[in-house]
Amino acid sequence: MSKIKIIYQCQACGNTSPKWMGKCPDCGGWNSFVEEKVTSSKRQTSELDSMGTNAPLPLSEVEAISEKRVATGISEFDRVLGGGIVPGSVTLIGGDPGIGKSTLILQIFAGLSRRPGRLLYVSGEESPQQIKMRADRLDATSQNIIVLPETSLEGIIGAAKKIRPEAMVVDSIQTVYTEEMPSAPGSVGQVRECAAKLVLLAKRSGIPVFIIGHVTKDGAIAGPRVLEHIVDTVLYFEGDRGHAYRVLRTIKNRFGSTNEIGIFEMSDAGLREVENPSELFLSERPHNVSGTVVVASIEGTRPIMVELQALVSQTSFGMPRRTSIGVDFNRSSLLTAILEKRAGLHLGGMDIFINVVGGLKIMEPAIDLGIITAIASSAKEVPVDPGTFVFGEVGLSGEIRAVAQAELRLKEASKIGFKNAVIPAGNLAKIKGDMKINIIGVKDVRECLKAVLG
Ligand code: TYD
Ligand code: MG
């Protein structure tokens, strides 16, 4: 007889405790412990055991699979994966509700359905009719896409074994439950157990599995740590619901580079790939307005020119407001302090708002110089020449530090027609060849502001 034991499990990190606690000692989350029942009997033999086991082998005798990647036909997605889908890989796609995860996966399946072989779409959230309606809109209806409304993991695995699809998706992991655990679907225990079994299924059968996961209010996939380390690839689909742009970002990738991004635009016929993001993000740039500057940024292997805006105005409250959208808040506070101390700007009584146009999020330090320039341009009310762009990292003593891949950034800018670049002096020395751009190397913040704002 199996005995049912009650434990308390942190819904944020999966830490367990025999007693309820207000604060998780592991991740520090408050009020995150939830009662879960576990059966203390030996694991029932799972459906999966019939799919063969792996014996220990010397590494030299392991058969190397020539990495046969399958291209989906959606090049933005293929690039994010590192060149296509790897057989037997498990990919987690996370994102806010309504951002377009189901749409993305259906379009990927539509691309894959042109090849022979079936694809299994398991949905615990939508009925086959709802999926069909969306597929019609996306022009993704195909006899190769099999839909299965199912939330029992055992049922899903059974169906996968029967259908033997070329790829499958579980939308979403939070709706799936395994009969081996009595706790509710969506709890950390269930999510972890189900994901682990799907990983096993993928590894044993070679079927690439996509798992869709919802993100909680604070931006983490339910049980973030428990899921992220068991899958091969973690992708986040993000974007501002008010904007049409969506960014697919790699957080982890066992088969390719992280930091790669794919850019899509949500339209009434689904997601469209954005092949030339720089032109798109700069298309509505205002001219002769202070507080805006273009930065050459690099996401993964791809250069993107984006517009950074800052608005500096006298505060009407006792405490000035500081807001940044799309750039790290702490980083922009730090850069504000550097401007005050090293360039002598008086920003103490000023509200400062910083925004990256188009709803992009940029984390690389090369945009420091852009933030500094935008703030100073707004504070002094001097517009930056629209043919000028900047990049560079700023240190605490106001020095400008060299950044990686300067030539790639310059090439992208020259392609779009920029005339002047203000870049770290350290980078200037190493630039080879003619860039067709007038390049100014700067050593510190004062020099930069003099070059850009005069
Ligand atoms: P969906 O894929 O259902 O989001 P998720 O699975 O991440 O919850 O996408 C939902 C949103 O996308 C919805 O608000 C409508 C929008 N959308 C379009 O604008 N155009 C389209 O062609 C489709 C299918 C959806
Ligand atoms: Mg969905």
Give CA angle at 103 (99, 107), nearest 5°.
140
Do 89 and 190 sit in the same domain of this protein?
Answer: yes
How many CB atoms lie under 10 A from the CB of residue 54? 7
What's the 213 CA to ligand 2 centre distance in angstroms?
Answer: 9
Burial of 283 (0-12, 13-18, 19+ CB in 10 A): exposed
Q: Which of 342, 384, 367, 376 is nearest to 424 (CA)?
A: 367
- Atom 8 in ligand 1: which residue has the minimum CA distance? 98
Determine whether the shortest distance from the Cβ of 134 to ligand 1 is under 6 A: yes
Output the pLDDT for position 276. 82
Pairwise CA distance, residues 162 & 144, whole Å: 15
Determine whether the shortest distance from the Cβ of 242 to ligand 1 is under 6 A: no
Do 86 and 143 sit in the same domain of this protein?
Answer: yes
Pairwise CA distance, residues 132 & 148, whole Å: 12
| Ligand 1 atom at shortest distance from the alpha carbon of 95 | 7
Report if residue 64 sits inside a domain: no
H helix or E strand, kind and range, residue 79: helix 75-81
Determine whether the shortest distance from the Cβ of 268 to ligand 1 is under 6 A: yes
Report if residue 163 sits inside a domain: yes
| Ligand 1 atom at shortest distance from the alpha carbon of 97 | 8
pTM summary value: 0.77
Residue of 92, 93, 103 with the most ligand 1 atoms within 8 Å of its CB, for mutation? 103
Pairwise CA distance, residues 346 & 365, whole Å: 24
Report if residue 50 sits inside a domain: no
Do 318 and 269 sit in the same domain of this protein?
Answer: no
Output the pLDDT for position 51. 57
Do 223 and 283 sit in the same domain of this protein?
Answer: no
Output the pLDDT for position 257. 79
Ligand nearest to the CA of 121: 2
Determine whether the shortest distance from the Cβ of 451 to ligand 1 is under 6 A: no
Report if residue 61 sits inside a domain: no
Ligand nearest to the CA of 98: 1
What's the 102 CA to ligand 1 centre distance in angstroms?
Answer: 7
Report if residue 355 sits inside a domain: yes
Pairwise CA distance, residues 195 & 228, whole Å: 10
pLDDT per residue as tens digits for the range 109-132 = 999 999 899 999 999 999 999 999
- For the four alpha carbons of 96, 99, 100 and 102, in that order, the dihedral sign comes to positive
Determine whether the shortest distance from the Cβ of 97 to ligand 1 is under 6 A: yes
| Ligand 1 atom at shortest distance from the alpha carbon of 241 | 14
- Atom 13 in ligand 1: which residue has the minimum CA distance? 98
Q: Count CA within 13 A, CB hemisphere, residue 75.
A: 4
What's the 320 CA to ligand 1 centre distance in angstroms?
Answer: 38
Q: What is the CATH number of the domain that holds 385?
A: 3.30.230.10
Determine whether the shortest distance from the Cβ of 137 to ligand 1 is under 6 A: yes
Determine whether the shortest distance from the Cβ of 213 to ligand 1 is under 6 A: no
- pLDDT tens for the chain, 454 residues: list them: 567 788 898 877 778 899 999 998 988 888 888 888 776 555 555 555 555 566 788 888 877 766 688 999 899 899 899 889 999 999 999 888 888 999 999 999 999 999 899 999 999 999 999 999 999 999 989 999 999 999 999 999 999 999 999 999 999 898 999 988 888 888 888 888 899 999 999 999 999 999 998 876 555 555 555 788 899 999 988 887 777 888 898 888 998 877 788 889 999 989 999 888 888 778 788 888 999 999 999 887 788 899 999 999 999 888 999 999 999 999 999 999 999 999 999 999 999 999 998 888 888 999 999 999 999 999 999 999 999 999 999 999 999 999 999 998 998 898 888 999 999 999 998 888 777 899 999 999 999 999 999 8
Do 304 and 268 sit in the same domain of this protein?
Answer: no
Residue with tokens 């009310």: 381
Number of domains in the chain: 3
DSSP state of 175: G
Do 141 and 222 sit in the same domain of this protein?
Answer: yes
Task: For residue 219, give the 3-state DSSP assignment.
Answer: coil
Q: Which of 299, 297, 226, 203 is nearest to 258 (CA)?
A: 299
Q: Count CA within 13 A, CB hemisphere, residue 98.
A: 5
Report if residue 53 sits inside a domain: no
List alpha helices for 213-265, DSSP H.
Answer: 224-228
Output the pLDDT for position 223. 53
What's the 87 CA to ligand 2 centre distance in angstroms?
Answer: 24
Residues 6 or more apart from 313 whose CB is under 8 A from it?
350, 351
| Ligand 1 atom at shortest distance from the alpha carbon of 101 | 7
| CB-CB contact of 327 with 356 (8 Å) | yes
Report if residue 115 sits inside a domain: yes
What's the 55 CA to ligand 1 centre distance in angstroms?
Answer: 44
Do 91 and 142 sit in the same domain of this protein?
Answer: yes
Do 353 and 416 sit in the same domain of this protein?
Answer: yes
The gap between the terminal CA atoms of the chain, to the nearest Å, is 82
Domain end residue (candidates: 250, 275, 300): 275
Burial of 73 (0-12, 13-18, 19+ CB in 10 A): middle
| Ligand 1 atom at shortest distance from the alpha carbon of 212 | 6
Report if residue 298 sits inside a domain: yes
Do 269 and 285 sit in the same domain of this protein?
Answer: no
Do 240 and 346 sit in the same domain of this protein?
Answer: no
Do 248 and 215 sit in the same domain of this protein?
Answer: yes
What tokens appear for 268 in the block? Answer: 């009434």
| Ligand 1 atom at shortest distance from the alpha carbon of 237 | 7
What's the 266 CA to ligand 1 centre distance in angstroms?
Answer: 8
Q: What is the CATH number of the domain that holds 120?
A: 3.40.50.300
Alpha-carbon distance values, 208 to 81, 235, 266, 394 (Å): 12, 15, 26, 43
Do 265 and 288 sit in the same domain of this protein?
Answer: no
Q: What is the number of residues in the chain?
A: 454
Determine whether the shortest distance from the Cβ of 239 to ligand 1 is under 6 A: no
Residue 14: domain span: 3-40
